[in-house]
């Protein structure tokens, strides 16, 4: 078990009966809020730990078990409803490691007295369980899980849930069960609409789905999405169909449901699969976990089910959960913590970025103390305050972000966030005309940071031009922008302190060498807002020359992968602002072409000639991991990514089923293991160097 998984699986330790009673009360209240509106006092991970602690105490002290205990009960025993379920709508038990999965699978096979023929593996969607009842193909009723025996009628939500059609493609009578959730896009839109109508933003997508599903008579509507995960007959279901629904394997049943027009996970990157070996299940669990950051909706685990109806019947069910299905819970990517303050940092382009200072909290194996707040308008829209309990979200390598304040936990002592009236860096006025505020001095506000960034290894790579030297040049009045670096004279440099003949000549030689860097490096060094290293490479390869980039309008820029309408307009505006600087760089002899790229055809929309883009890695997604050796030893990870993209490939930081090639250096670690499990092609640094040999001398 990994450190993060072990931490995730740990249960809360309860010392005595008083601690047990308090834990039961806390868990019961949290469950009641969670299943009613999604507004629990605990995040999912904290609740799971608490319930496991309660279960451990009860196992050690069976005579002290409270009737109010959430263990062994659907929805913690707190949810209510008045619409009876025809078949109990149970919860799932959890496992947290490969060892626990192996043990559970073995217990199922012992129970049925034979090996399970095949397992179904599918994502555990982070939403609200719903039973949708269809009569003669028409959606007639929506019922929540409730306490498993009866649920709440939420039929007023019919017509607002994408993926749950009002009419099926066949006039059948049956019940479809699944999860109602908000996708990431729906969640953002819901909060935009909700706050525009004076409401508090939802803390997370599940909270948004739970509150929206139950809401009646709102003056606005927001969209949700349904994912089906099961189906069963109703009393009025025809005998033939009822028999089929009871006998079909789960995988065939879900194919039938999808054929009726109901949305399932089949069309997603984490589509259900049937597997026969537990080791293969574990590999699929890890694959889905790796894809989690890229998904447009939230998952908190993977569900494993015995696929055959006969195996399910033989395994049976308990009062709370079926014995033939389990949820493999993933480490939490969402936690509740306290907003302690806000820092206002000025970037190298003059952008003023707020950063949340948090009470440290462990999320997905790492300690999070800061989170992005985007911009002042976002702070206002979310109604954030100092002292708020906030929902913090982190997935993969994404910078942690605050979803929203947990408004129902407010005490009244929270204080408003004070916005800066002048630039925190230099004291100049602030341009507040756009959502992202900016110092009116722009790049001049952070000239040292801007020049240091431009001279960095992954941009112009000017050796000897560190921060200390940049400060010296700026303070001496020798450099006021990037172009001034290329006009420095030997005599003026020799006048500076600690600049002897050798260091001066070395610096001038490094600056001269920087003139030959590829366009992608030069473009990145300019610090165009809305772009970075990867985007700079894409733009340079698409247009091939600075002349073509500057001539492109917003529509032409949108042909570059990853550039939308807003970013295209921003890049056009930035290039216009940087025009005089670019002209001076050209005059100084700085290269403005991308090696190996072909300019777009006259009147075309970009470098779209397949023959021009073809390379040894054409169409491949490549991940580089571990320490490079041999001809690649001195290349940074950014330079490796440059090689991949110049060779026609797409660089990626994570291994998934879409990965075509893994360059595995020394100490490759988990990414190599993952690639081996997926059957991904692996090459050594030397083998990769042979693949891209013709491009190595162009890496600058």
Q: What is the CATH number of the domain that holds 33?
A: 1.10.287
| Active centre residues (catalytic) | 124
Residues 237 and 325 in one domain: yes
Res. 419: pLDDT tops 90? yes
Burial 80-106 (b: 16+ CB within 10 A, else e): ebebebeebbbbbebbbbbebbeebbe
Residue 436 is assigned to a structural domain of this protein: no
Q: Which of 71, 100, 118 is the last residue of a domain?
A: 71
Residue 433 is assigned to a structural domain of this protein: no
Residue 89, pLDDT score? 92
What Cα–Cα distance (Å) separates residue 350 from each residue in 444, 449, 533, 568, 588?
Answer: 8, 10, 19, 19, 25
Res. 97: pLDDT tops 70? yes
Residue 452 is assigned to a structural domain of this protein: yes
pLDDT in tens, 255-274: 999 999 999 999 888 999 99
* Dist. CA 286–CA 173, nearest whole Å: 38
Res. 609: pLDDT tops 60? no
Res. 34: pLDDT tops 70? no
- What single string gives the DSSP state of each residue in 259-307? HTT--BGGGSTT--EEES-HHHHHHHHHHHHHHGGG-SS-EEEEEEEE-
Q: Which two tokens stand for residue 491?
A: 């005599």
Dihedral, 684, 687, 691, 694 alpha carbons, nearest 10: 110
* Dist. CA 53–CA 577, nearest whole Å: 60
Question: Contact 374/393 with Cβ under 8 angstroms?
Answer: no
Look at the chain and report how many structural domains it folds into: 6
**Phi (first) and psi of residue 620, to 5 degrees:** -95, 145
**Phi (first) and psi of residue 216, to 5 degrees:** -125, 150
pLDDT band at 333 (very low <50, low <70, confident <90, very high): confident
Residues 219 and 131 in one domain: yes
Residues 245 and 206 in one domain: yes
Q: Which of 514, 534, 556 is the last residue of a domain?
A: 514
Res. 224: pLDDT tops 80? yes
Cβ within 8 Å of residue 27, ≥6 positions away? 42, 47, 50, 51, 54, 70, 76
Residues 230 and 148 in one domain: yes
What Cα–Cα distance (Å) separates residue 687 from each residue in 178, 628, 692?
Answer: 48, 11, 9
Residues 234 and 370 in one domain: no
Q: Which of 298, 329, 360 is the last residue of a domain?
A: 329
Percentage with pLDDT > 70 across the chain? 91
Residue 41, pLDDT score? 61
Residues 563 and 639 in one domain: no
Q: The CATH number of the domain where 647 resides is what? A: 3.40.50.10190
Of 178-182, 376-380, 399-403, 552-556, give the range with the top mean pLDDT.
178-182
What Cα–Cα distance (Å) separates residue 607 from each residue in 160, 244, 458, 553?
Answer: 42, 54, 24, 15
Res. 73: pLDDT tops 80? no
Residues 632 and 650 in one domain: yes
pLDDT in tens, 282-316: 999 999 988 887 788 989 899 999 999 999 999 99
**Residue 200: strand, helix, or coil:** coil
Residue 432 is assigned to a structural domain of this protein: no
Could you tell me how many helices (H) and strands (E) the chain has, helices first?
A: 26, 25
Instruction: Enter the DSSP assignment of 12.
Output: P
Question: Contact 124/327 with Cβ under 8 angstroms?
Answer: yes
Residue 312 belongs to domain spanning: 83-329
Q: The CATH number of the domain where 201 resides is what? A: 3.30.470.30
Residue 123 is assigned to a structural domain of this protein: yes
Q: Which two tokens stand for residue 643?
A: 């090689």
Residue 350, pLDDT score? 84
pLDDT in tens, 167-221: 999 999 999 999 999 998 898 888 888 888 888 788 778 888 888 888 887 888 8
Residue 77 is assigned to a structural domain of this protein: no
H helices of 476-626, where?
490-494, 501-514, 519-526, 533-543, 546-551, 554-557, 565-577, 579-587, 610-613
pLDDT band at 638 (very low <50, low <70, confident <90, very high): confident
pLDDT, averaged across the chain? 85
pLDDT in tens, 492-522: 999 888 889 999 999 999 999 999 999 999 9
Residues 288 and 217 in one domain: yes
Residues 549 and 524 in one domain: yes
Residue 610, pLDDT score? 42
Res. 547: pLDDT tops 70? yes
pLDDT band at 581 (very low <50, low <70, confident <90, very high): very high
Beta partners for 662? 623, 682
Q: Which two tokens stand for residue 277?
A: 């070996």
Residues 171 and 210 in one domain: yes
Residue 395, pLDDT score? 60
Res. 37: pLDDT tops 70? no
* Dist. CA 27–CA 40, nearest whole Å: 10
What Cα–Cα distance (Å) separates residue 473 from each residue in 72, 347, 448?
Answer: 70, 20, 9
Mean pLDDT, range 545-556, rounded to an integer: 92
Residues 491 and 386 in one domain: no
Q: Which two tokens stand for residue 213?
A: 């599903």
Q: Which two tokens stand for residue 521?
A: 């490096």
Mean pLDDT, range 394-411, rounded to an integer: 75
* Dist. CA 67–CA 28, nearest whole Å: 11
Residue 43, pLDDT score? 65
Which of 74-78, 381-385, 551-555 is predicted with the least confidence, judged by mean pLDDT? 74-78
Query: Do the strands 224-232 and 161-162 form a parallel or antiparallel pair, or are they unpaired?
Result: parallel
Percentage with pLDDT > 90 across the chain? 42
Res. 39: pLDDT tops 80? no
Residues 141 and 105 in one domain: yes
């Amino acid at each position: 078990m990994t450190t993060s998984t072990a931490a995730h699986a740990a249960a809360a330790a309860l010392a005595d009966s008083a601690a047990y009673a308090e834990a039961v009360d806390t868990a019961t209240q949290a469950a009641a809020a969670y299943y009613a509106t999604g507004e629990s006092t605990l995040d999912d991970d904290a609740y799971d730990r608490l319930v496991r602690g309660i279960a451990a105490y009860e196992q050690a002290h069976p005579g002290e078990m409270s009737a109010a205990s959430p263990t062994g009960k659907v929805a913690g025993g707190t949810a209510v409803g008045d619409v009876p379920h025809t078949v109990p709508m149970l919860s799932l038990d959890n496992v947290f490691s490969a060892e626990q999965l192996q043990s559970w699978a073995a217990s199922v096979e012992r129970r049925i007295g034979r090996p399970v023929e095949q397992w179904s593996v599918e994502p555990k969607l982070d939403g609200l369980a719903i039973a949708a009842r269809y009569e003669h193909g028409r959606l007639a009723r929506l019922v929540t899980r409730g306490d498993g025996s009866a649920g709440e009628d939420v039929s007023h939500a019919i017509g607002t849930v994408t993926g749950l059609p009002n009419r099926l493609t066949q006039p059948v009578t049956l019940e479809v069960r699944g999860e109602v959730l908000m996708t990431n896009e729906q969640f953002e839109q819901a909060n935009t609409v909700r706050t525009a109508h004076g409401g508090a933003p939802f803390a997370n997508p599940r909270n948004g789905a739970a509150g929206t599903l139950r809401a009646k008579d709102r003056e606005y509507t927001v969209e949700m999405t349904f994912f089906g995960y099961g189906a069963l007959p109703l009393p009025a279901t025809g005998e033939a169909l009822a028999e089929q629904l009871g006998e079909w394997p789960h995988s065939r049943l879900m194919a039938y449901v999808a054929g009726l027009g109901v949305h399932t996970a089949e069309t997603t990157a984490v589509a259900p699969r049937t597997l026969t070996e537990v080791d293969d299940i574990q590999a699929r669990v890890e694959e889905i976990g790796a894809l989690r950051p890229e998904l447009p909706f939230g998952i908190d685990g993977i569900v494993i089910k015995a696929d055959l109806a006969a195996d399910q019947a033989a395994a049976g069910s308990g009062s709370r959960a079926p014995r033939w299905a389990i949820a493999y819970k993933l480490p939490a990517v969402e936690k509740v913590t306290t907003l302690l303050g806000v820092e206002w940092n000025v970037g190298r382009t003059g952008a003023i970025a707020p950063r949340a200072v948090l009470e440290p909290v462990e999320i997905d194996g790492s300690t999070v103390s800061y989170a992005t707040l985007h911009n002042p308008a976002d702070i206002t829209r979310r109604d954030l305050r100092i002292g708020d309990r906030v929902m913090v979200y982190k997935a993969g390598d994404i910078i942690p972000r605050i979803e929203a304040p947990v408004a129902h936990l407010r005490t009244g002592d929270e204080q408003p966030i004070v916005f800066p009236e002048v630039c925190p860096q230099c004291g100049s006025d602030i341009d507040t005309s756009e959502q992202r505020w900016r110092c009116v001095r722009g790049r001049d506000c952070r000239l040292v940071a801007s020049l240091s960034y431009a001279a960095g290894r992954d941009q112009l790579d000017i050796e000897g031009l560190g921060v200390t030297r940049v400060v010296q040049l700026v303070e001496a009045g020798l450099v006021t922008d990037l172009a001034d670096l290329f006009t420095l004279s030997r005599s003026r440099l020799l006048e500076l302190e600690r600049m002897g003949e050798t260091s001066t000549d070395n610096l001038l030689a490094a600056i001269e060498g920087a003139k030959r860097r590829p366009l992608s490096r030069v473009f990145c060094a300019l610090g165009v807002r809305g772009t970075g290293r990867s985007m700079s490479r894409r733009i340079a390869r698409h247009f091939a020359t600075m002349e073509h980039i500057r001539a492109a309008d917003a529509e032409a820029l949108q042909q570059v992968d990853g550039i939308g309408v807003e970013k295209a307009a921003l890049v056009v505006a930035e290039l216009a602002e940087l025009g005089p600087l670019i002209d001076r760089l050209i005059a100084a002899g700085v290269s403005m072409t991308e090696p190996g790229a072909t300019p777009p055809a006259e009147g075309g929309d970009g470098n779209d000639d397949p023959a021009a883009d073809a390379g040894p890695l054409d169409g491949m997604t490549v991940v580089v991991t571990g320490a490079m050796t041999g001809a690649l030893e001195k290349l940074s990870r950014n330079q490796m990514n440059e090689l991949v993209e110049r060779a026609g490939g797409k660089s990626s930081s994570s291994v998934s089923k879409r990965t075509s090639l893994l360059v595995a250096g020394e100490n490759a670690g988990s990414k190599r293991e993952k690639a081996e499990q997926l059957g991904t092609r692996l090459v050594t640094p030397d083998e990769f160097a042979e693949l891209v040999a013709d491009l190595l001398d162009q890496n600058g």
